Amino acid sequence: MSTADLLSEFTSSGEFYAVDVERSAVIDARHQMLGDLMREQGLDGILLSRPSNFAWFTTGGDSTRGSWNDVVSSLFITPDARVVLSRNTDSTQLFDRQIPGLGFQLKERVWTESRDVLMGYICRSRNVACDQPFENCPDVSLHLAGMRLPLSDQEMKTLVRAGTIVAHAVEATARGFRRGETEAEVAGQIAHRLLRHSAIPVRIQVWADGQGERYRHWGFGEAPIEQFCTLTAVARLNGLHVGVSRTVSFGTPTKELRSAHLDCLLVESTGIFFSQKQWEIDETWSRVERIYDKFGHTEEWHFSDQGCVTGYELCEAPITPRSEYRLQAGMPVYWQSSIGPALVSDTVLISDDGLSIVTRMENWPRVDIDVKGVTLSRPDILVRPE
């Protein structure tokens, strides 16, 4: 089958009228990026099955039924056409709610047939690359990872909105839950506040009374909250991920918690301040590691992840020593610092003019942290009546 025959099966997406001009322009630009990759690799098409790549290409479309483990559609991209591969039970909702009027075409099968059958049909007799293992298709996932960032102007606005939603959900829950409620009950309150604003909970952690000191990646359980608690939420809005933590104490915090929390703020604030465009992650990390050492917490960072460059994947690039990943304007970074019973995390967005914290505090106590002569206003421990 010739290339001309392949392309004749689909109408050029450029012939469709765009309802959302701004969003359509971003999709067109990304289509051009994939077109360039196809020409470089000698490909007839690219099959996008990962929800993160579907969301990236469509600037926020969701190819799942809520959980990224329940994928209902894929994208088949040729140099001129973009085609949704789906079952008949999901295609109408996709086109009405996720990608309306954006130049996508449809290939569908009945729900009784596996989507893999349709994907196999599309790939047959064509030189098609994929973003995850499928039949004998070459994998171009590394190429795609380099395309998902930096974010567009529209996506940065979405990220800021997500930051507001997630910070509010955590802070409102911290102000309102009752002493003696379990970690699971409080986690449910966070999830409720997120879902009310269409933000999908990806990770919720509720550390009651120092639980996180024993298990740094603890989620939540049935333990009642008696003295203090750290609440963490990572959520997804229109495909983009944002995370934040806040700590609350019933009565005056212990000296151990107060000291650990302040040291965590120093560590995290250093990471935030030195998340600068054109820096490699290792350059930023070396400053953070020095703060751990300076305040006598040399081993603490070994016990927990320290964060990541985030985006359409929860972790686009981890923050690790010796990482050569280069930060750029338009990249969101999730910083997560833990020392003993304390955990602090926020999401920042690198820009040409510096950076901004997207998980901004609302009605929350603050403490000023000085980094290289610059004062950062950071979240203190919320003290509630005993």
Tell me, what's the pLDDT at 19? 67
Tell me the pLDDT tens digit for each residue of 136-188.
Answer: 999 999 999 999 999 999 999 999 999 999 999 999 999 999 999 999 999 99
- pTM: predicted TM-score of the whole model, two decimal places: 0.93
Tell me, what's the pLDDT at 333? 98
| List of domains in the chain | 3-145 (3.40.350.10), 153-384 (3.90.230.10)
Ranges of residues in the chain with a pLDDT under 50 are 1-8, 16-17
Exposure b/e, 163-179, CB count within 10 A at least 16 = b: bbbbbbbbbebbeebee
Q: Report d(CA 234, CA 256) in Å as an integer.
A: 26
Tell me, what's the pLDDT at 3? 40
